[in-house]
């Protein structure tokens, strides 16, 4: 499966991957303070385990930062 994550094309062996599975693979070190949008729609964290990703989905993962 091919996904576009933060403007980078990535290939995955699995045909069906949830948002949480993707984060476990790509962002295993830090999963707090992030937001995920799929095809320009923000997906609530409560849906990450059950939201299936599809071929060619565009995924934006945003991490909160501190500062001013």
Homologous superfamily (CATH) of 2-63 is Beta-grasp domain (3.10.20.30)
Structure tokens at 10: 């990535």
Q: Model pTM? A: 0.84
pLDDT tens by residue, the chain, 68 residues: 899 999 999 998 877 789 999 998 887 777 788 999 999 999 999 999 999 999 999 999 998 877 65
Task: For strands 2-5 and 58-63, give the pairing.
Answer: parallel
What's the confidence (pLDDT) of residue 28? 75
3-state secondary structure of 6: coil
Q: Where are the domains of the chain?
A: 2-63
**Among all chains, which residue has been given the structure tokens 């937001």?**
35
| C-alpha span between 38 and 28 (Å, rounded) | 19
């Amino acid at each position: 499966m091919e996904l576009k994550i933060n403007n980078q094309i990535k290939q995955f062996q699995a045909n069906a991957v949830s948002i949480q599975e993707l984060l476990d693979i790509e962002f295993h070190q830090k999963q707090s303070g992030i937001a995920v949008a799929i095809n320009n729609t923000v997906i609530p964290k409560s849906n990450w385990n059950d939201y299936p990703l599809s071929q060619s989905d565009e995924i934006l993962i945003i991490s909160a930062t501190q500062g001013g």
